[in-house]
Amino acid sequence: MPETAAPLWNALAETVRSGWCPGLVAGVRINGQTEVFATGTLDLEQSAPIAEDTPFRIASLSKLFGGALAMSLVADGTLGLDDDVARWLPALANPRVLATPDSPLSMTVPARGPITVRHLLTSTAGLGIDFGSTPYAAATRDLLWGPNPPDMAPDDYLARVGELPLAHQPGERWMYHASADVLSVLLAAAAVTPLDQLVQERICAPFHLSATGFPTGGERFPAAYEAVDGALREVVEYSEAMAGPPQFESLAGGMVSTVPDYLTFLAALADDVVLPPALRQQMTEDQLTSPQRAGLIEMAGPDESWGFMTGVQTGPGASWSEPGMWGWSGGSGVVAGVYPDGDVGVLFTQRFLGGPQDTLDFFWDSLSAVRNSVRSGRR
Query: From the first residue on, what is the mean pLDDT of each consecutive set of 10 residues in the chain (379 residues)?
Result: 81 97 97 96 96 97 98 98 98 97 97 98 97 95 91 96 98 97 98 98 98 96 94 92 94 98 98 98 98 93 97 96 97 97 98 83 96 79
Domain count, the chain: 2
In this structure, the answer to whether residues 216 and 293 fall within a common structural domain is yes
Which residue type, as a one-letter code, is found at position 292?
Answer: Q
CATH code of the domain in which 141 resides: 3.40.710.10
Q: Is the residue at 196 inside a domain?
A: no
In this structure, the answer to whether residues 367 and 222 fall within a common structural domain is yes
Q: Are 223 and 48 spatial neighbours (Cβ–Cβ below 8 Å)?
A: no
Q: Is the residue at 203 inside a domain?
A: no
**How many other CB atoms sit within 10 Å of the CB of residue 98?**
23
Q: Is the residue at 326 inside a domain?
A: yes
Residue 271 backbone phi and psi in degrees, to 5? -85, 5
Q: Is the residue at 361 inside a domain?
A: yes
Which pLDDT does position 74 carry in this prediction?
Answer: 98
In this structure, the answer to whether residues 126 and 245 fall within a common structural domain is no
Which pLDDT does position 222 carry in this prediction?
Answer: 96
User: Cα–chain-centroid distance for residue 58?
Assistant: 8
- Which of 158, 191, 224 represents a domain boundary (last residue)? 191
Residues 6+ apart with CB under 8 A from 25: 36, 37, 38, 50, 51, 52, 54, 56, 258, 259, 347, 348
Which pLDDT does position 3 carry in this prediction?
Answer: 66
In this structure, the answer to whether residues 165 and 251 fall within a common structural domain is no
Q: Is the residue at 250 inside a domain?
A: yes
In this structure, the answer to whether residues 95 and 135 fall within a common structural domain is yes
In this structure, the answer to whether residues 76 and 128 fall within a common structural domain is yes
Whole-prediction pTM value? Answer: 0.97
Q: Is the residue at 281 inside a domain?
A: yes
CA distance 43 to 227: 14
* CA-derived radius of gyration, the chain: 20
- Which of 191, 222, 256 represents a domain boundary (last residue)? 191
In this structure, the answer to whether residues 180 and 224 fall within a common structural domain is no
Q: Is the residue at 35 inside a domain?
A: yes
CA distance 303 to 51: 35
In this structure, the answer to whether residues 242 and 350 fall within a common structural domain is yes
Range of the domain at 162: 70-191
In this structure, the answer to whether residues 108 and 185 fall within a common structural domain is yes
Q: Is the residue at 225 inside a domain?
A: yes
Instruction: Sort residue 365 into left (φ over 0), alpha (ψ -120 to 50) or beta.
Output: alpha
CA distance 150 to 360: 27
CA distance 252 to 247: 14
What does the H/E/C string look like for the chain? CHHHHHHHHHHHHHHHHCCCCCEEEEEEEECCEEEEEEEEECCCCCCCECCCCCCEECHHHHHHHHHHHHHHHHHCCCCCCCCEHHHCCHHHCCCEEECCCCCCCCCEEECCCCCEHHHHHCCCCCCCCCCCCCHHHHHHHHHHCCCCCCCCCHHHHHHHHHHCCECCCCCCCCCCCHHHHHHHHHHHHHHCCCHHHHHHHHHHCCCCCCCCECCCCCCCCCCCEEEECCEEEECHHHHHCCCCCCCCCCCCCCCEECHHHHHHHHHHHHCCCCCCHHHHHHHCCCCCCHHHHHHHHHHHCCCEEECCCCEEECCCCCCCCCCCCEEEEECCCEEEEECCCCCEEEEEECECCCCCCCCCHHHHHHHHHHHHHHHHHHC
- Which of 156, 191, 226 represents a domain boundary (last residue)? 191
Residue 279 backbone phi and psi in degrees, to 5? -75, -35
In this structure, the answer to whether residues 354 and 234 fall within a common structural domain is yes
In this structure, the answer to whether residues 90 and 185 fall within a common structural domain is yes
In this structure, the answer to whether residues 362 and 251 fall within a common structural domain is yes
Distances (CA, A) of 188 to 30, 254, 308: 35, 15, 18
Strand partners, 227: 232
